[in-house]
Amino acid sequence: MAILVGKDTRLIVQGITGRDGSFHTRLMKEYGTNVVGGVTPGKGGMEVEGVPVFDTVKEAVEKTDANTSIIFVPARFAADAIMEAADAGIKLIVAITEGIPIHDMLKVRAYLDQKGARLIGPNCPGLITPEEAKVGIMPGHIFRRGRIGVVSRSGTLTYEIVSHLTASGFGQSTAIGIGGDPIIGTKFIDVLRMFKEDPETEAVVLIGEIGGTDEQDAAEYIGREFDKPVVAFIAGRTAPKEKRMGHAGAIIAGGEGTAEEKIKAFERVGVRVADLPEQVPQILKEILK
C-alpha cells in the first residue's frame, strides 16, 4: 500500500442507514474496499448492502476488528460520532460531513490528540489508494495506480487534476482530500511527511486554495526538508476579499490568505505552480525527466 489506506483497511460506516451512507457504502464495496460493518444507533441487527449494522462503534470494532471509520452523520451529531470512533480504538477516522461547528471541532481535535487517532476532514471527499481501497466519495474510475501523491483542500479540483494526471499517464500512489474547513484533523504538512517516507511516492501534487496559511506552512516545510518534487495549483486567484468562496475556510480575511501570497511562498522554495489544472501533468513531465 501507499499511505493510510490499502488492502489491510477494515472499514466501518457510521451513518450507514442514511441515504449518503448506504449509497457510498455500495460504491466503496464495488471499488474493492473491505467494508466490515456499519453503525446506526437503534438499527443494530440490520444489514445494508450486505454489511452488518451495529448500535455502537465499540460493538462494531469488537465484532469486526475494524481499524478505520468513515462518518456520514449529520453535522449536529458528527463531533460525537468522531469521538465515539476514537474511543473505540479506531485510529483512522474520515469525516465527510460538512457544517460541523468550529467549537465542536476544537473539542474534537483535543480529544483525538489524547487518543492518538488521525482524522481526515471534516468537509472532505476522503482518500483513495488506487486499486486497493477507497474511503470516501471520490469517483474511483478516474484514479490509476502509480507514483504521484496527491493532497488537496478541494474535492472537485482533485477530481479534475487527477483526471488530467491519469490521461497523461501519471498514476497515483494515494490521493487525499484534507477538507476545506478552518479546523481540520490532518494538514498539508502531515500528509507531506507521510509521502516523504513512502517509497511508492515519487512526486507530489498539492492543490490549495485561498484562506488561512496552511499552504505557506507547507511551502516552508518543503523548502526545509521535503526532498521529492512538488507541483502546486492554487485556486481562487480572482476571489474578492472578505467573501467566503466554497469552503468555510476559503475566505481572505484582513488581506491574509490570498492566492498570490501562497503562490509566492511556493515559488520561493522552488515549487512550480500551475496556472491551470491541465498544466499540472505537463509540469510533472518536465521535472521528472
Q: Is 24 a catalytic residue?
A: no
Q: Which residues contact 66 (CB under 8 A, 6 or more apart)?
A: 10, 11, 12, 36, 37, 60, 90
Q: How crowded is residue 121: how many other Cβ atoms within 10 Å of its Cβ?
A: 29
Q: Please give the Cα distance from 47 to 30 (Å, whole number).
A: 16
Sheet holding 126-129, edge to edge: 133-136, 126-129, 172-177, 145-152, 203-209, 230-235, 272-274
**Which of 103, 141, 164, 247 does the annotation list as catalytic?**
247
DSSP 8-class letter at 201? -
How many CA atoms are closer than 13 Å to the CA of 125, on its beta-carbon side? 20
- The DSSP annotation for 139-188 comes to -GGG--EEEEEEEES-HHHHHHHHHHHHHTT--EEEEEE--SSSS-SS-H
3-class DSSP assignment, residue 108? helix
Q: Please give the Cα distance from 12 to 10 (Å, whole number).
A: 7
The catalytic site residues sit at: 247
